[in-house]
């Protein structure tokens, strides 16, 4: 992957999100860095509660007001000319100009993202009126064109219908049309196919791939399902408890998954041509109020437990979920390059 052919449209550096809870201030996103490149799809994978959705919302500056905020790092937007803009610090007015125009987002639940009292066409038209300055009539024509582009038949008539008259798959298409209306340079997709039938999933995946290859849009695809990312992503970041634990080009990640967490996550994906392998990753992602010291994955890590049994008492330590390697508890692993273009944060695999 040549960085020159695919310049970074959005460079995220050491992003931190802070949240207020009853137990004090926590960091559900804790130093995350990646690039979203033009014409490429970056996958962000992890279980529920790993911070992937908060990361996506932070890029859009859509964090729940009063409860969460960006507390560190930068989100540098650049469109090739002029000074990059730091979305982490830029004013609310500027953010509003960019949101929908430069960056757009689609969500898992289209029914919640569409307004039930306006027609689908009106909602799409609103975006092009706001961001492209189209007249009401022109914007409605554009809305119908967009609906047809996302694969909705009889688009002009459908544009006059309300969201409840659309099936789940069609609502997802309508939301995509709305996101595309501002002709964004970056699309952030948060579990866009998770609530859909596999057949419709495949169609939406193909649709997004087609739109992207035609327009050079950069995409961030957030999901728990590595199976979907195998189909869409050029590069993948695996996130755990607020941090990125592995990053690699897609083929590299699937042919050489290095981090024990990535391996476990991969084993969870249901497959057709192989009987059920794993029984899931024991336990769940720690809450941000309760992150373990050292490697945050160590209480669930099969590798650390296995090696601890071999290493003996001096090098291991008894934890709440069994014996693990001492350095997994004592040292915070940082992302290190383990293979070409392949980075992992694991003190055990890298050594």
- Would you tell me which residues interact with other proteins (CB under 8 A)? 47-49, 151, 153, 167-170, 197-203, 205-206, 210, 224-228, 230-231, 250-251, 254, 264-273, 275-276, 278-282, 284
Shortest reach from residue 300's CB to other proteins, in Å? 10
> How far apart (Å, rounded) are the C-alpha atoms in residues 124 and 111?
15
Q: Which is nearer to other proteins, 100 or 163 (CB)?
A: 163
Shortest separation between residue 83's beta carbon and other proteins, angstroms: 36
Kindly state the smallest distance separating residue 205's Cβ from other proteins, in Å. Answer: 7
Nearer to other proteins, 139 or 228 (CB): 228
For other proteins, which is the closer residue by CB, 187 or 265? 265
Output 197 or 331, the one with its CB closest to other proteins.
Answer: 197
Residue among 101, 7, 103 at smallest CA distance from 58: 103
CB of 197 to other proteins, least distance (A): 5
Q: Which is nearer to other proteins, 130 or 268 (CB)?
A: 268
Cβ closer to other proteins: 18 or 225? 225
Least distance between other proteins and beta carbon 179 (Å)? 20
Please say which residue, 93 or 199, places its beta carbon nearer to other proteins: 199
| Token pair 């290493």 in the structure block, residue | 311
CA distance from start to end of the chain = 27
The distance of closest approach from Cβ of residue 175 to other proteins in the complex, given in angstroms and rounded to an integer, is 16
Per the structure block, which two tokens stand in for 163? 């969201």
CB of 164 to other proteins, least distance (A): 15
Query: Measured from the CB atom, is 188 or 265 closer to other proteins?
Result: 265
We find the least distance from the C-beta atom of residue 99 to other proteins, in angstroms, to be 27
| Cβ–Cβ under 8 Å, residues 151 and 210 | no
């Amino acid at each position: 992957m040549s960085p020159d052919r695919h310049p970074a449209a959005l460079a995220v550096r050491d992003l931190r999100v802070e949240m207020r809870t009853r137990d004090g201030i926590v960091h559900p996103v804790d130093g995350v860095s990646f690039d979203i490149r033009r014409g490429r799809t970056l996958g962000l994978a992890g279980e529920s509660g790993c911070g992937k959705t908060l990361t996506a919302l932070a890029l859009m500056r859509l964090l729940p007001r009063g409860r969460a905020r960006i507390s560190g790092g930068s989100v540098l937007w650049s469109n090739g000319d002029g000074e990059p803009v730091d979305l982490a610090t830029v004013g609310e007015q500027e953010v509003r100009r960019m949101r929908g125009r430069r960056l757009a987002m689609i969500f898992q639940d289209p029914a919640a993202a569409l307004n039930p009292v306006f027609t689908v066409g009106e909602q799409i038209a609103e975006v092009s009126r706001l961001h492209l300055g189209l007249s009401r009539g022109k914007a409605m024509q554009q809305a119908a064109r967009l609906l047809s582009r996302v694969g909705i038949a009889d688009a002009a008539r459908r544009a006059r219908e309300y969201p409840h008259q659309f099936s789940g798959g069609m609502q997802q298409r309508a939301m995509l049309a709305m996101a595309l209306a501002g002709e964004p340079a970056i699309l952030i997709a948060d579990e866009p196919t998770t609530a859909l039938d596999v057949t419709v999933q495949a169609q939406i995946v193909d649709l997004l791939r087609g739109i992207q290859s035609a327009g050079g849009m950069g995409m961030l695809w957030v999901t728990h399902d590595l199976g979907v990312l195998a189909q869409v992503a050029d590069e993948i970041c695996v996130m755990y408890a607020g941090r990125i634990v592995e990053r690699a080009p897609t083929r590299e990640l699937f042919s050489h998954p290095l981090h024990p967490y990535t391996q476990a996550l991969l084993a969870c994906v249901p497959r057709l041509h192989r009987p059920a392998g794993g029984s899931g990753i024991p336990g769940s992602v720690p809450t941000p109020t309760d992150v373990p010291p050292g490697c945050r994955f160590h209480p669930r890590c099969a590798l650390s437990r296995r090696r601890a049994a071999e290493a003996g008492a001096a090098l291991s330590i008894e934890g709440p979920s069994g014996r693990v390697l001492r350095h997994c508890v004592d040292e915070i692993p940082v992302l290190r390059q383990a293979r070409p273009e392949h980075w992992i944060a694991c003190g055990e695999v890298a050594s």
